[in-house]
Amino acid sequence: MSLFNVFDVAGTALNAQSIRLNTTASNLANAESVSGDPTKVYRARHPVFQAMVANDDYSLPGEDAASVGVRVLGVVESQAAPQMQYQPGHPLANKDGYVFNSNVNSIEEMTNMISASRSFQTNIDAMNTARDLLLKTISMGR
């Protein structure tokens, strides 16, 4: 892998972690949402990633490195059932007096946020190290 490819790989990883941070923030913002209909309540969303490898159907065109980055395949919605709470006085309660809470687990989302943030920082550090190495290589030729 060429030193220049580090920027491509780290760049795609930064994009992926940025999407992960955004979906985690969205999940946390909607963690306390409720609805009277279990099909309309907010459900946690999570991005799905895939490693891109050269000479693969999923690789970027013109790449010759063994690894060329990370692809975001999409964002999937959690299939976990929403939590039911009996609150007959709630304005959104259904005819039986139940409201449905979001299936977002705040502790899991905070863990995802910490992990994504650290991964983001690690990729920034890798790019800075590659830049420094390239600058030192260029200065050796002077």
User: pLDDT, tens digit, for every residue of 6-37?
Assistant: 888 999 999 999 999 999 999 999 999 999 88
Over residues 133-142, the pLDDT tens digits come to: 999 988 987 7
Number of domains into which the chain is organized: 1
Q: Which two tokens stand for residue 138?
A: 């260029």
pLDDT exceeds 50 at position 5: yes
pLDDT exceeds 80 at position 65: no
What span, in angstroms and rounded, lies between the C-alpha atoms of 140 and 130? 15
* Distance between first and last Cα of the chain: 25
Residue type at 75 in one-letter notation: V
For residue 108, the enclosing domain spans 5-140
64-89: b or e for each residue (b if 16 or more CB lie within 10 Å)? Answer: ebebbbbbeeeeeebeeebeeeeeee
> What pLDDT band is residue 114 in, cutting at 50, 70 and 90?
very high
What span, in angstroms and rounded, lies between the C-alpha atoms of 8 and 63? 10
pLDDT for the residue 53: 81
